[in-house]
Amino acid sequence: MIVGIHHVALGVSDFDKALKFYSEGLGFEVVQETEFDSSPDVDRTIGLSQAKARMAMLKGPNAFLELWQYTNPEPRDLRSRPCDYGYPHFALQVDDIQSEYDRLKEHGMEFVGEVVHFGTTSSAIYGRDPCGNIIELFEIKSAGIAQLER
């Protein structure tokens, strides 16, 4: 039985910068941080050989976010556009999108433009964290749109 989504994992190019952004900028709580170097159990779990990485598990209001920075094998940057296959972005539901937009810019998030308002129903904008991962800020203004319980 599936209980729900536990976490989304993000590969980052600068672990310390990403950890600071997600904990201080977005307010996720660091609940686990570890580093491993060629652990046979980890290698068997993820399907890599002689993996070396840093990892942090961060707790948000309704899900966890897992940050990874691998040093072996050498990572490749496959992120490109929001329309590409894979995990192109994750969205954060926010209240007062303009305030979050302004605040996160101060924490190093680069947005594709200004906040877009879809009439009286919702507002959204895509941006990138300091490591280039795409994040959507999404504000719901009216009923009828799937939203998180508060």
Enter the pTM of the model. 0.83
Q: Classify residue 57: in a domain, yes or no.
A: yes
Residue 10's φ and ψ, nearest 5 degrees, are -125, 130
Residue-wise pLDDT for 37-81, tens only, equals 888 888 888 888 899 999 999 999 889 999 999 999 988 877 667
**Which CATH number does the domain housing residue 123 bear?**
3.10.180.10
Nearest to 33 by CA among 52, 12, 19, 14: 19
Q: What pLDDT, on the 0 to 100 scale, is given for residue 82?
A: 72
User: What is the total count of domains within the chain?
Assistant: 2
What is the distance between the terminal CA atoms of the chain, rounded to a whole angstrom? 25
Range of the domain at 103: 90-140
Evaluate whether 57 touches 31 at the Cβ level (below 8 Å).
yes
Evaluate whether 68 touches 12 at the Cβ level (below 8 Å).
yes
Q: Classify residue 84: in a domain, yes or no.
A: no
Does residue 95 sit in the same domain as residue 126? yes
Please tell me whether residue 69 adopts helix, strand or coil conformation: strand
Residue-wise pLDDT for 6-30, tens only, equals 899 999 999 999 999 999 999 999 9
Does residue 27 sit in the same domain as residue 68? yes
